[in-house]
A and B are shown apart, each in its own frame.
Chain A
Amino acid sequence: MEYKDYYKIMGVARDAKPDEIKRAYRKLARKYHPDVSKEADAEEKFKEVAEAYAVLGDEEKRKAYDELGSNWQQGQDFRPPPNWDTHGFEFHTGGPGGAAGFSDFFEELFRGIHGAGPRQTRNVRMRGQNEQARIFIDLEDAFHGATRTLNLRVSEPDAHGRMHQRNRTLNVRIPKGVRPGQHIRLSGQGGAGIGGGEAGDLLLEVQFNPHKLYSVEGMDLTLKLPVTPWEAALGAKVKVPTPEGPVELKVPAGAKGGQRLRLKGRGLPGRSPGDLYARLEIVTPPAHGEKERAFYEKMAETFDFNPRAGLGVE
């Protein structure tokens, strides 16, 4: 397992004061928060920062971490010292990023102690917690329905009421017509109940994996459709892919690059299905051979055409 240099991750000195650490956390959190940041690795970065702050921002955890000494390097192979114990203190979940999804290093150091679990008390019956997760599906799944496997990391109380992390695998049916941002409610698939209480619900937020052909906006899909200059100029019938199979699209004569042609009802399925827009992209063939070059030269002679007429230059 790799050693994590939490001070380096947060960009603070080993003797930083608690308020310095808090300031550093807030700055980094705003920069990398996945809801706010669009940096490609924001989610990964934020997780690291949240984990570092979960340790350094907590007096007891920081002390325990500091006891490992300062000779470790970020990423170095780490084995906990044989006399390492968890000091018997207890932490509560609910810190930034949630306790789930922290590194193995964190798990090893603070194993089984991040959460004073609900105690098993006789005569107490409690409904389990509702839980939330996100599932990424392919666009095609929304058209045809599918079954997808979801891996969850869940905190569970053991017989002594202590919280433990566990991997849980669920096969979830993805119903046809589901859209990004919608939620699927899975009754009784959340946290376990206590004392015979019923389990909570699991709320799954649906997101789409990026698609190589289509971009999604609301119910509508957009596809970049390359056409030749003669197809655009003269008009043509071209084959266009849609998630439900290819269809023929009429490109009108005199079509322009960037123009959007609508295929009604070919967007995401639903009571009133979305549309699919084909955005024309005029692609000029390369003038590789002698014949092709001659043809372009002929065009230059034939056409009295200045695409820059509107720019005020000759």
Chain B
Amino acid sequence: MNSGSKATISGIVLSEQETVTLDELAGLCTVEQSWVVELVEQGALEPLGSAGREWSFSAGALGRVRTAARLRRDLELDAAGIALALELLDEIDLLRARLRSLD
């Protein structure tokens, strides 16, 4: 690790068009693959197609898995509870956006 170095670091933007494998998704979010599978089974997360042996996801799933991981860690929710919470949070976002476009 280059600690304290003032060099500028460049990274790769994982935009929604990028795909990540199940392995990468779990690895980047530091969660277990089996738990990501559970989120998919609860409908909290949609893999892209089901071709091949390994699932792939839009990189947009990273934010969702990280939110799910925080809800699990901080609120001790199980996958079903997380799926419900994420759905309600999506709905609130939608309603807030609609409210913003009105005022």
Contact = CB atoms under 8 A, between A and B. Distances in A.
Contacts of A186: 9, 11
Interface string B57-89: 001101100110011011110000000010001
A47 B3 CA distance: 26
Nearest to B97: A217
B52 interface: no
A171 B63 contact: no
B66 A185 contact: no
A98 to B, nearest CB: 8
Contacts of A114: none
A170 interface: yes
B71 A178 contact: no
Given A97-B74, A192-B1, A217-B97, A183 B67 contact: no
B34 interface: no
Nearest to A132: B66
Nearest to A172: B9
Given A33-B75, A192-B1, A199-B1, A181 B10 contact: no
Interface residues of A, number: 52
A260 B100 CA distance: 13
A171 B11 contact: no
Interface stretch (A83-91, A117-125, A201-209, A290-298): A201-209
Contact of A178 (B3, B13, B67): B13
A173 B85 contact: no
A117 to B, nearest CB: 15
Interface in A155-185: 166, 168-173, 175, 177-179, 181-185
A112 B8 CA distance: 30
Interface string B1-23: 10110111111111110000000
Given A132-B29, A183-B59, A192-B1, A29 B11 contact: no
A10 B30 CA distance: 29
Contacts of B8: 147, 171-173
A300 to B, nearest CB: 29
A183 B58 CA distance: 12
Contacts of A188: 1
B74 A184 contact: no
A130 B67 contact: no
B40 interface: no
Given A183-B14, A183-B62, A36 B85 contact: yes
A96 B9 contact: no
A178 B15 CA distance: 8
A59 to B, nearest CB: 18
B46 to A, nearest CB: 16
A203 B28 contact: yes
A45 B13 CA distance: 31
A129 interface: yes
A44 to B, nearest CB: 15
A180 B29 CA distance: 18
Interface of B: 1, 3-4, 6-16, 27-30, 59-60, 62-63, 66-67, 70-71, 73-76, 85, 89, 97, 100-102
Interface of A: 26, 29-30, 33, 35-36, 46, 50, 94, 96-98, 128-132, 147, 166, 168-173, 175, 177-179, 181-189, 191-192, 199, 201-205, 215, 217, 222, 258, 260, 279
14 contacts: A30-B75, A35-B67, A36-B75, A50-B74, A128-B1, A175-B10, A181-B60, A182-B15, A182-B59, A183-B63, A185-B11, A186-B11, A189-B1, A204-B11
